[in-house]
């Protein structure tokens, strides 16, 4: 059987697509992790912002290097960059054996199986795809899984190319999400992470009402110890959702709530709905309902027209709100977006300088928030054994790949996916350190 490797790039939503793509190819290929062993290499690219596009192009050329060692190896580009720039990729990288610009994953798999002619472009046709629980999916880590509950986006933020790549918002039917959660939990998943471009909008298109609270209540019966929410949009974060988070023990007291800015003038220019005062009020409601909640957000610096005053408003907001976790992106001009067409672009160096200044300000806040957890006992999901009896893991307050980690001394027979109570003894800016605790969290 020929061997195939999938190189995963981009966000968790793209990762889910890549896992389903690997699942759809596993009937024809033996799926390997190391591209050096592969007869076919598929790069599941990201096309979100300039930095991600560069990373994808670099990965394509790295994989094409394998043709020097094994001339018969086929290299195919799939994923968002291919969907967004299919023609350009074909024209500029003729060495590619295929460019699959199709988010319909089963059809993309069929195109890869047929990737015979260099420069062959398979393009999206017809309806927008939405994967379902009955498609095979190959995952690297059995104990944690992303569940993509919807695809596409209707928010149309002025700087964002995703609606053009992924199309309109479309929720998956609730029974399909539930069936997938049951399969994943039976398969050993301890943590289910709900993702979409806008997780909080779930159900509005399909059921005419926001259905995330109902979905969470139903998922809480499936049995996975942790349910986590990423990519929440403030406007749709209802009191009902806060109540479910408070009442359901399985729902992590953790929220990823990208706010993007805190100057109302810039929020309006970004075509973001809501004001900084409304966001602050929502955060107050969350903290009042769940004082131990862990809040993550992301901001963009250097959006066109951003003045010194706008930036100071953002700095003060970060200082006053004291987020537990914070990511900052320097604004990136994306083709075809309204923001990129504006005449008042800020200099790239200023965008980056403001990003770095905000991250420096956050460092002290993050360190202080982490220090507040010293002396507490918390549940830790073990992920990787470091040295004998020392494990790297995460708490309910840490999402994979984007947040900190918890390092615990936990001698004895343990496996990745075990959840243990740990006494936190020390901390630094992002990570916590401790040891297995006698008593439960």
Residue ranges in contact with ligand SF4 by CB under 6 A: 153, 155-157, 160, 162-163, 197-198, 233
User: Shortest distance, CB of residue 334 to ligand SF4, whole angstroms?
Assistant: 10
Rounded alpha-carbon distances, angstroms, from residue 279 to 230, 237, 262, 336:
16, 10, 9, 28
User: Shortest distance, CB of residue 325 to ligand SF4, whole angstroms?
Assistant: 18
User: Shortest distance, CB of residue 272 to ligand SF4, whole angstroms?
Assistant: 7
> Could you identify the residue written with the tokens 């010293």?
374
Q: How far apart are CA 173 and CA 313, in angstroms?
A: 41
- The residue (of 55 and 235) whose beta carbon lies closer to ligand SF4 is 235
Q: How far is CA 103 from the centre of its chain?
A: 17
User: Shortest distance, CB of residue 48 to ligand SF4, whole angstroms?
Assistant: 9
Helix, coil or strand: residue 53: helix
- The residue (of 7 and 46) whose beta carbon lies closer to ligand SF4 is 46
User: Shortest distance, CB of residue 155 to ligand SF4, whole angstroms?
Assistant: 4
Q: How far apart are CA 169 and CA 147, in angstroms?
A: 16
User: Shortest distance, CB of residue 300 to ligand SF4, whole angstroms?
Assistant: 9
User: Shortest distance, CB of residue 407 to ligand SF4, whole angstroms?
Assistant: 33
Interhelix angle 308-321/348-371, nearest 10 degrees: 10
Buried-exposed string 4-13: b where 16+ CB fall within 10 A, e elsewhere: bbbbbbbbbb
- The residue (of 119 and 163) whose beta carbon lies closer to ligand SF4 is 163
- Closest C-alpha among 304, 235, 317 to residue 269: 304
Length of the chain, in residues: 441
- The residue (of 226 and 231) whose beta carbon lies closer to ligand SF4 is 231
- The residue (of 19 and 198) whose beta carbon lies closer to ligand SF4 is 198
User: Shortest distance, CB of residue 57 to ligand SF4, whole angstroms?
Assistant: 22
- The residue (of 35 and 167) whose beta carbon lies closer to ligand SF4 is 167
Q: How far apart are CA 93 and CA 91, in angstroms?
A: 6
Output the CA torsion sign for 43, 47, 51, 54: positive
- Element (H or E) spanning 440, and its range? none
- The residue (of 156 and 285) whose beta carbon lies closer to ligand SF4 is 156
- The residue (of 6 and 279) whose beta carbon lies closer to ligand SF4 is 279
Q: How far apart are CA 420 and CA 190, in angstroms?
A: 12
Burial of 212 (0-12, 13-18, 19+ CB in 10 A): buried
């Amino acid at each position: 059987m020929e061997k195939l490797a999938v190189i995963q790039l981009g966000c968790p939503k793209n990762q889910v697509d890549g896992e389903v793509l690997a699942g759809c190819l596993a009937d024809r290929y033996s799926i390997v992790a190391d591209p050096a062993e592969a007869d076919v290499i598929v790069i599941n690219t990201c096309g979100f912002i300039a930095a991600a596009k560069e990373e994808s192009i670099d990965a394509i050329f790295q994989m094409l290097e394998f043709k020097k060692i094994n001339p018969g190896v086929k290299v195919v580009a799939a994923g968002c960059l291919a969907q967004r720039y299919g023609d350009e990729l074909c024209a500029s990288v003729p060495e590619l054996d295929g460019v699959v610009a199709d988010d319909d994953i089963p059809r993309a798999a069929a195109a890869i199986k047929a990737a015979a002619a260099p420069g062959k472009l398979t393009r999206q046709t017809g309806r927008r795809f939405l994967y379902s629980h009955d498609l095979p999916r190959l995952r690297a880590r059995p104990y944690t899984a992303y569940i993509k509950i919807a695809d596409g986006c209707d928010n149309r933020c002025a700087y964002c190319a995703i609606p053009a790549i992924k199309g309109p918002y479309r929720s998956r039917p609730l029974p399909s999400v539930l069936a997938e959660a049951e399969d994943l939990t039976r398969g050993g998943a301890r943590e289910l992470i709900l993702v979409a471009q806008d997780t909080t909008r779930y159900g509005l298109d399909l059921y005419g009402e926001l259905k995330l609270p109902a979905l969470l209540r139903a998922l809480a019966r499936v049995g996975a110890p942790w349910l986590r929410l990423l990519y929440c949009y403030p406007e749709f974060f209802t009191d009902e959702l806060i109540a479910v988070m408070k009442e359901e023990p399985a729902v992590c007291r953790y929220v990823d709530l990208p706010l993007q800015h805190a100057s109302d003038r810039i929020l309006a220019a970004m075509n973001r709905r809501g004001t900084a005062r409304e966001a602050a009020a929502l955060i107050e409601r969350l903290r009042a309902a769940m004082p131990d909640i862990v809040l993550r957000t992301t901001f963009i610096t250097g959006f066109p027209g951003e003045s010194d005053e706008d930036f100071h408003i953002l700095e003060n907001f970060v200082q006053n709100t004291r987020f537990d976790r914070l990511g900052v992106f320097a604004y990136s001009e994306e083709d075809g977006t309204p923001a990129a067409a504006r005449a008042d672009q800020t200099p790239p160096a200023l965008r980056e300088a403001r990003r770095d200044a905000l991250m420096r300000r956050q460092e002290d806040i993050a360190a202080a928030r982490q220090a507040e957890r010293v002396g507490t006992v918390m549940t830790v999901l073990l992920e990787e054994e470091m040295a004998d009896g020392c494990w790297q893991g995460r708490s309910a307050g840490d999402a994979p790949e984007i947040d900190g980690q918890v390092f615990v001394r936990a001698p004895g027979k343990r496996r990745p996916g075990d959840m243990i109570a740990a006494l936190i003894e020390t901390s630094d800016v992002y990570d916590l350190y401790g040891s297995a605790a006698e008593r439960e969290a």
